[in-house]
Amino acid sequence: MAGLAVAEVNDTNFEQEVLQSDQPVLVDFWAAWCGPCKALAPIVDEVASEYSGKLKVMKMDVDRNQATPMRYGIRGIPALLLFKGGKVADQIVGYVPKDTIARSIARVIG
């Protein structure tokens, strides 16, 4: 069950789940109406499985949560933000191939 590796995060628990995480966190900002978000979802699931134990992967619905996307200037989705030590370490906007995401993660987790 690869899908279980990706948890939902919201404005309320973002600080605790993402910013205070001792592991790097990849957050997928998405919305139900967004076609490219749906196309990216299986890739995000694969990444979650592959980096299990090294990277936390979470999703945030931008329609249900406005504060966090605003805080990080999310204008286009899908947007993937990589957090490390409570700060944005990298950002990928739009639908990208898996190797682009993998390269970004490699830079952040070393």
Positions marked active-site: 34, 37
Element (H, E) at 30: strand 25-30
Q: Which residues contact 75 (CB under 8 A, 6 or more apart)?
A: none
* Residue 72: strand, helix, or coil: coil
